[in-house]
Amino acid sequence: MQEGSRQRGERMERSRHEEPSMDTPFPKSPLLSPMDHAEAVARFRCEIVGALTRKDLTRGELCATLHALAEERFRPPPARSSPALSR
């Protein structure tokens, strides 16, 4: 057998037990920043209401949770203060 080649069974057996190389860094992804004001507002809304889309809530629970969120103050993307929002 040549020096650089292995038998198929040996290669598969070793790959299951070898530790992954930690020397190779993950590729750098571009910073996820909004492209414009509309996208910034959309992301802002998604961050506030997004978790509710994954909860198993009844209609009454969803309504109560949305009313509770309406009482909280959130800072929209370009604002320096948190305006009070009405229902």
Segment 18-37, tens digit of pLDDT:
666 667 776 676 677 888 88
Distances from the Cα of 2 to the Cαs of 14, 15, 22, in angstroms? 18, 19, 28
- Is residue 82's pLDDT more than 90? no
Assign 67 a pLDDT band (cuts: 50, 70, 90). very high
What is the enclosing helix (H) or strand (E) of 1? none
User: Does the pTM of the predicted model rise above 0.95?
Assistant: no
